[in-house]
Structure 1
Amino acid sequence: MKTVLIALLLNLLTVGSSYAQTKGNGLFDVELRRAALAQPAFTTARAACLAIPRDPAWSSIKPIAALKGTEDYVTDGAANDYAWAVMVLTGRTLAGDMVSEVALRDLLLAWARARAFADTEIEHDAYYALKRVLLPTVVAFSVLQRGLDEGQKRMLSDWIDPLVRKTDQTFDGVVGRNNHRYLADSLLMTWGAVIRDEALYTKGQDRYRAILAEARPDGSLALETRRGARALWYMRQSLASLTVMAEVAATRGTDFYDLRAGEVNFDRVLSYLLNGIAEPNVVMAYASENYIPGGEADARRQDLGFMAKRSNGRHYMAWVEPLMARDRAGLATKRLKALFVRSIRSDRPLIDEFVGGNATCFWGR
């Protein structure tokens, strides 16, 4: 009987072309994943959930009322600490650590009571930081909610909901159409799936289609590839948000990965990034525009820092985990898997705000 259960879980977690077996409760099917992590076949994935120890000091992180615009999108230190605590505790909770579950619940409730982030400055850099902390918060809520009483659930929802809706803000200039917007819509779509709000869910669905429609035939995104030395950096960031939207859609039985707009689908955009990583000169025709390139003025020196784990424990390539778990054919997927084995897998667990937390815990096999 146990062997049959494990085989069933493996089949459900390796999603093929049907996309028809999950429940639509957020970024991933929480209960299916929880059940899988309890099985011996998932010992390695469960270890990834528990790889980062719980820090008792996290309970003392003071809620912050407002995020403010800063240079180079640097997030308030307390918000970074909060997001890291939430991401680590969510993974541990999913793996069945009850002490972490209580710690995560109490942390979120404390920040909800304090109305954290409610006074965030209405400015695109500040809102960018807000989106980054909210996506892990939404995922944490989806993992926690079965153990919450109605009052706790209402308190957290009443805190999170207006903050998420606040990010549906269009600012002047390209930030209303570039990766900032993609991140916002990945957040709106995820929260919409969690609370069954079809209007929010549709925001992300529509944005996904728009991104494909706006891409060049070679898969490049015009507003990202013009960013000089950070052209590939922002292509990767856009793919992270596309992946989140596709995974949320998959829990509702919809395959976004094979969705097309003209010649472009997810794999075409992915292939462009992989081509650029292998040979950065690929991007030079666009990157030479050098629009807000960051600290490096020479567009020929593409910033590939996203390929390594950061000193704060995050990994900007965490979005590849769900793709590693999917049974997808195609050259782009094969190339990504080869890159993963060669350059990324050893950095597990892969944790990042842009994919909602501990991606190895959520999807890793």
Structure 2
Amino acid sequence: MARNQLIAVVGGFSLLLAGAVSAAAQAPQSYRGLFDVAARKAFLAQDSASDARKACLAIEADPAWGHLEVIKGLSSTQGYGTDRSGAAYAWATMVLSGRALAGDRNAESSLKALLLKWADAGAFAQTEQVHDAYYALKRLLLPTVVAFSIIRDDLTADESKRVEAWIDPLVRRIDQTFDGDVDLNNHRYLADSVLMTWGSMIGDEALYRKGMDRFHTILSDSRGDGSLPLETRRGSRSLWYMRQSLSSMTVMGEVAAGHGDDLLRETVGDTGDRRSFTTILSFWMNGLTNPIMVNAYAAENYIPGPEEDFMKTDFGFLQNRGNGRHYLAFLEALAVRQPDSYALRRSAALLAREGSDERPLIDEFIGGNATCFWSRS
């Protein structure tokens, strides 16, 4: 999309917008996991021709997914990037979970068979204990946990026990300290979003609190303008990594909502320097229209990725990627909230402009087919 169009969508607002989501914005909810699976299934069943249901079924299932070779472990990689050997498994899991949510019985059976096969084979158990291999594991675990939540009630007690016995030690394993920045940046946010989601599902309060505590830590670590120090120093990809952080924070917020905890309304700081989720969200969107405001931080150029010039902001997250993932998928969850802050209204406008023609929006960082999980149209 042309830059002037983007500016028209998210520009024209003041730089510091930190409006909070009011307590009345969300109806009381009670569910375990990323979203209310039963309620979502009922919503999708109401209208077989709805856009939401079409989004769930938009990607065809591939029979070959049943023959995917089980990956025993993930490994470190040379240079920039992480082990992507599990990409096909993740894609299959995300597509099948969306289809199963919409009532596709064949997809449900395929997803059940896939999870049981990989569970019984102990997939990923031999993952190398280094941060980039663990990062790859975290990306695979979130859609796996969400997929399990969607079909769990349709599994026998024995089947459910087998899948849970596979996932649980893997989730606990990523609660790992490597004594570096990866223990504090978006890598850690992703880990705690997985821990929180799984803890919610199985009723483990300690795991659930990991996400709650991390969310508050992120707010505390943010600058007054909403920027995240460890992400905005990343050169041309400063906004890229801010987006990844916001995605994990959104997962935490959605899981918390099921427990009656409104994390997106939480604030930290003294009077006149209050920061919230929307402060961080606003900084990111302001950076889209005015990258110059990020450059002072980005100039540090710490592990910038493929582009060495920090002035050339990477906006690749604004469009569907070649592998089918869309990094704006997290905005689907925000768009259905009552837009009683400028930040949420702006994010909904950004989603409409940048993502509406590319739906369904699917991404590991939000757990799968976000359009299927949250869209109300």
TM-score norm. by structure 1 comes to 0.94
Partner of 2:255: 248
- Please identify which structure carries the higher helix content: 1
Relative to structure 1, the CA distance from residue 349 to residue 129 in structure 2 (aligned partners, 3 Å threshold; closer, same or farther) is: same
1:99 aligns with 2:110: no
Whether 2:88 is the aligned partner of 1:81: answer yes
Match of 1:232 in 2: 239
Work out whether residues 178 and 223 of structure 1, in 8 Å CA contact, stay in contact via their aligned partners in 2.
yes
Structure 2: distance between partners of 1:182 and 1:173: 14
Consecutive unaligned residues in structure 2, runs of 5 or more: 1-21
Q: TM-score, normalised by structure 2?
A: 0.91
Larger deviation, residues 103-112 vs 21-30: 21-30
2:149 to 132, 139, 142: 142
Aligned to 1:72: 80
- Does 1:58 find its partner at 2:91? no
Q: CA deviation at 1:335?
A: 1.3
- Compared CA separation, residues 232 and 18, structure 1 to 2 (3 A): closer
- Secondary structure, in 3 states, of the residue corresponding to 1:247? helix
| Distance in structure 2 (CA, Å) of the matches to 1:111 and 1:315 | 26
Offset at residue 298 of structure 1 (A): 0.6
Partner letter of residue 297 of structure 1? Answer: E
Off by >6 Å, runs of 4+ in structure 1: none
| Secondary structure, aligned partner of 2:115 | helix
After TM superposition, list the pairs within 5 Å mapping 1:157-306 onto structure 2: 157-262=164-269, 263-306=274-317
- Distance in 2 between residues matched to 1:223 and 1:301, nearest whole Å: 19
Q: What amino acid maps onto 2:308 in structure 1? A: A
Unpaired segments ≥5 residues, structure 1:
1-14
The aligned counterpart of 2:322 is 311
* In structure 2, distance between residues paired with 1:20 and 1:363: 15
The aligned counterpart of 1:344 is 355
Whether the aligned pair in 2 keeps the contact of 1:227 and 1:290 (CA below 8 Å) is yes
Distance 1:287 1:60 in 2: 44
Larger RCO: 1 or 2 (CA < 8 Å, sep 6+): 2
CA distance in structure 1 between the aligned counterparts of 2:25 and 2:306, rounded to whole angstroms: 45
Is the Cα contact below 8 Å between 1:229 and 1:303 reproduced in 2?
yes
User: Secondary structure at 2:80's aligned position in 1?
Assistant: helix
Task: Return the offset for 1:75.
Answer: 2.8
C-alpha offsets along residues 66-108 of structure 1, whole Å, 9 cap, x if unaligned?
100113333333x100000000000000000000000000000
Identity of aligned residues (%): 55
Which residue matches 1:326? 337
